[in-house]
């Protein structure tokens, strides 16, 4: 049986851990709210660019660009795929990183199967943001670009824009035929949705899906015009003379918004997952403290009872000697 001093030491350790978990929970909560707020403020601009681009592609089907059309390849040719996987640099976030890694595995396996059915040779290059996901995928046998170093901590639009320009550059050079981004979107504090989006060629259906999801986001609605999400709304605008320049701007801005949104969603999901994990740890520590308190009280009661019995026995012995 544990001694009273051992139980007190354990209780002291649990209280120290509890202070840490509560502090981490609070920090993650603040970071999550700040990031969601910044993203919500930026959404109106990106959303207008996206809707303009979608309207143009639907109403003017004669617009052709390599940014929305797959390249033609012959059977036996290589098909190069670039996949960005957004994970975190730290643990203590529940199953957050495992969920993203599993989503990446599903996307890679599914796309590999589809390309093989078309008699193409799939070649994947995987760039992982975050130490945890990089190490996990490497341990599972995937070839990772170890020179790529990126973090989703405190996402910034200018960093996202630089990353977008890099993606557009290598895609136009013909180095890659497809570019994906795999991350996790937070649906609620307890529910996360690992998903992927094809950045290039632009996935119009995926763009519509992400755009539609904004309708149910109360923080986004706060910064949007009241009639922005009206069904059947058509934008009235005149095309400039330089259509190519306009398309270039819309594609670049829309992709930057998608990348920034993915980085922000991933960061918010990580912080929310860590907040939930730390909340569970604090609750478990409370339960452990209750159990240890009961053990301590029971042990103290046993000691007191033993001491009383010894006193009574000693007193009885003294009375017997006097007689």
What are the tens digits of pLDDT across the range 198-215? 989 988 777 777 766 666
Residue 2 CA to residue 6 CA, distance in Å, equals 6
Residue 16 CA to residue 8 CA, distance in Å, equals 12
Residue 198 CA to residue 179 CA, distance in Å, equals 6
For residue 224, what pLDDT is reported? Answer: 62
Query: 230 falls in which pLDDT band (50, 70, 90)?
Result: low
Query: 229 falls in which pLDDT band (50, 70, 90)?
Result: low
* 267 contacts 179 by C-beta, under 8 angstroms: no
Rounded to an integer, the average pLDDT of 114-136 is 93
Residue 263 CA to residue 160 CA, distance in Å, equals 8
> Residue 195 above 80 pLDDT?
yes
Rounded to an integer, the average pLDDT of 223-251 is 64
Segment 298-306 long-range contacts (CB within 8 Å, at least 24 positions apart): 299/1, 299/2, 299/3, 299/4, 299/7, 300/4, 303/4
Residue 176 CA to residue 123 CA, distance in Å, equals 9
Residue 81 CA to residue 103 CA, distance in Å, equals 16
For residue 240, what pLDDT is reported? Answer: 63
Give the highest mean pLDDT range of 43-52, 80-89, 140-149: 80-89
* 24 contacts 322 by C-beta, under 8 angstroms: no
* pTM (2 d.p.): 0.81
For residue 190, what pLDDT is reported? Answer: 72
Nearest to 181 by CA among 258, 269, 109, 119: 258
* 68 contacts 300 by C-beta, under 8 angstroms: no
* 273 contacts 27 by C-beta, under 8 angstroms: no
Q: Return the number of other C-beta atoms located less than 10 Å from residue 86's C-beta.
A: 28
Strands (E), the chain: 78-86, 121-129, 178-188, 191-200
- Going 53 to 59 to 63 to 64, the CA torsion angle's sign is positive
Instruction: Indicate the average pLDDT of the chain.
Output: 83
What are the tens digits of pLDDT across the range 97-110? 999 999 999 999 99
What are the tens digits of pLDDT across the range 256-289? 888 888 888 888 888 888 888 888 888 898 999 9
């Amino acid at each position: 049986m544990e001694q009273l001093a051992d139980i007190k030491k354990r209780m002291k350790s649990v209280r120290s851990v509890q202070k840490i978990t509560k502090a981490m929970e609070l920090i993650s909560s603040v970071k999550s709210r700040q990031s969601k707020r910044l993203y919500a403020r930026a959404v109106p601009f990106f959303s207008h660019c996206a809707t303009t681009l979608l309207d143009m592609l639907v109403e003017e089907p004669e617009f052709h660009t390599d940014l929305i059309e797959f390249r033609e390849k012959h059977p036996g040719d290589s098909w190069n795929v670039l996949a960005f996987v957004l994970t975190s640099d730290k643990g203590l976030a529940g199953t957050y990183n495992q969920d993203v890694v599993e989503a990446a595995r599903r996307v890679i396996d599914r796309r590999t199967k589809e390309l093989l059915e078309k008699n193409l040779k799939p070649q994947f290059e995987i760039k992982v943001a975050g130490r945890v996901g990089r190490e996990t995928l490497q341990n599972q046998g995937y070839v990772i670009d170890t020179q790529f170093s990126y973090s989703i901590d405190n996402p910034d639009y200018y960093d996202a824009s630089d990353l977008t320009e890099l993606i557009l550059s290598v895609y136009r050079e013909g180095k890659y035929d497809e570019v994906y981004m795999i991350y996790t979107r937070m649906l609620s504090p307890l529910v996360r949705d690992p998903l992927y989006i094809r950045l290039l060629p632009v996935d119009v259906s995926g763009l519509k899906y992400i755009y539609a999801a904004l309708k149910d986001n109360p923080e986004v609605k706060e910064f949007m015009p009241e009639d922005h999400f009206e069904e059947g709304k058509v934008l009235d605008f005149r095309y400039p003379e330089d259509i190519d320049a306009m398309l270039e701007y819309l594609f670049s801005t829309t992709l930057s918004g998608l990348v920034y949104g993915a980085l922000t969603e991933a960061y918010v999901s990580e912080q929310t997952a860590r907040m939930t994990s730390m909340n569970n740890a604090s609750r478990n520590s409370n339960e452990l403290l209750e159990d240890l308190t009961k053990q301590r009280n029971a042990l103290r009661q046993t000691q007191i009872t033993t001491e009383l019995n010894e006193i009574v026995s000693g007193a009885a012995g003294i009375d017997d000697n006097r007689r």
